Amino acid sequence: MSSNAVPEGRNLPVEIVDEIIGQFVSTALDTDTPHRLLLRDLSNISTVSPVFLRIARSHIFKKIAIFIGNSFISSSNKENLSALFTREPTIAKFVKHITCQYNADVPHNGQLAPLFQLPNVQSLTLALCLYRRTDDETIQYFKRSSDISSTFGVRALLEHYLKSGSLKMVTLTRMMPLPCNVLLESPTLESVSIYQSFASSEEVVLSPNSTSQRSNIKKLILVNTTIPFAFLARSPKLQILHLTRDNIADFSTYEHSNNEPALPSLEELNLTINSYDDDLGQGYHQRHLQVILDHSPILKNLSLSIPLSSAVFLTIPRMPQLETLSLNWCGSTVHPHTDIVKSAIQTMSSCRLPSESLKNLNLRLSIDLRTMTESLDCMKGSIRKVIALAMDRDCRLFPRLQKVSLIIRISIENAPEEVRENIESELQALITLEVHDEKDQRATFDSEISVVDEAKIHL
């Protein structure tokens, strides 16, 4: 080939080059290609031509990681990024996602200012790395002032981008106390995920009846986190709410309230209760769920994950708009054997949903039998009861049901493969017999049975 020939691809329209590189990146992400290999390939692509360089950069710098504190291996990365954005301001426009790990504020004399001037940041992930410090030390860290012009700190970074006008998604881990009002007052924030954090008792989250600004948050995920119910009430556009081992403080204020519903837009609720929450008392879980449901008039999808324990079960109240109900029980069996899946039977029996809206019922039982000495016959009897309740012969529980899905996963330690296969066959035969016994079967019934050896899974 002549030395003056134009390499293939250089004269392609920019749109086509952009589409080709975009498809390459999407394929790499879909196949879990290691990030360092993707960056290497994009760096090679960038050498083809100025057009390729610009497009490759838009992918290379779409996501950046910043490390705040001096104990990290890459402690100089923030200075390097800041210098790059100063030297090449067009690159700053490509940044849409920031991940920040931090353990201490960093003083500076303005050289880190470009990290606060990224105009198109849409998501921000902050993860605290103070694992050896007490909660009190962590709280004191967050209470320190953090001035953008002189100090590069996590609170300054969060508060700046919440007010930037471009941020749509925030993920926070171990932030104590949570800046609830700052989150609620962001004009563009739509999705919030919070892990292992809690709001300060000193911060007052104004009630929705006040003149306080309403949040635009549409999706909220809380795990091991404590926030006041007023935070939810200040989010009237909230559509999706996932709660795992959470603590919604002050929800009693909203019990038996005659005011307007606090969650008028909520369509999906996913609530997970852990067995070690039992000390809160049965009444707590029921009241907690009931208050949220009472304030969710258009809820369409409800998913409950409940411990497989006779001590915990929930009553499912009337919900006129509900279309899909998913119930997931998991945990170890308890003695006597008659208690196996008792919570499932109690919860199922409590359902009273005589509306035309409920169409889908999804049931999942994850049972740890521990040893083969457990009573399989008793478990089969319990499963038979669950199936009978789901099929609802007299149309008392689910009169308009269209589809039932039952997934059973049983783990038995050190069980031979032949034994596990026999249990699967017995249970599948039982389900087939129970379902075919229904003369006037109204809903389609799908089932999936698996019996596994947990010890072998973790090898």
Within 13 A of 329's CA, how many CA atoms are on the CB side? Answer: 27
Predicted local confidence at residue 336, as pLDDT? 46
Integer Cα distance of 267 and 299 in angstroms: 4
Which pairing describes strands 97-102 and 226-228: parallel, antiparallel, or unpaired? unpaired
Q: Nearest 5 degrees, angle CA 116-CA 122-CA 127?
A: 70
Each as own residue / partner, the long-range contacts of residues 160-167 (CB below 8 Å, 24 or more positions apart, any chain) are: 160/116, 161/98, 161/121, 161/124, 162/186, 162/189, 163/187, 164/119, 164/121, 164/188, 166/119, 166/120, 166/121, 166/122, 167/121, 167/122, 167/123, 167/124
Strand blocks (E) in 34-139: 63-68, 97-102, 106-107, 123-128
Q: Which whole-number Å values give the CA distances from 32 to 24, 26, 28, 287, 448, in the listed order?
A: 12, 10, 6, 43, 28
Integer Cα distance of 171 and 189 in angstroms: 11
Residue 141 has pLDDT above 70, yes or no: no
Residue 338 has pLDDT above 50, yes or no: no
Residue 125 has pLDDT above 90, yes or no: yes
Residue 53 has pLDDT above 90, yes or no: no
What mean pLDDT do residues 109-118 have? Answer: 84
Integer Cα distance of 161 and 372 in angstroms: 56
What mean pLDDT do residues 280-300 have? Answer: 79
Integer Cα distance of 124 and 163 in angstroms: 12
Residue 330 has pLDDT above 90, yes or no: no
Exposure string (b/e) for 121-131, b if CB count within 10 Å is 16 or more? Answer: bbbbbbbbbbe
Do 103 and 130 form a contact (C-beta atoms < 8 A)?
A: yes
Helix 376-391 to helix 417-436 angle (10° resolution) is 30
Predicted local confidence at residue 337, as pLDDT? 47
Residue 162 has pLDDT above 90, yes or no: yes
Amino acid sitting at position 126: L
Helix 14-30 to helix 35-45 angle (10° resolution) is 160
Residue 408 has pLDDT above 70, yes or no: yes
How many other CB atoms sit within 10 Å of the CB of residue 176?
A: 23
Radius of gyration, alpha carbons of the chain: 27
SS3 327: strand
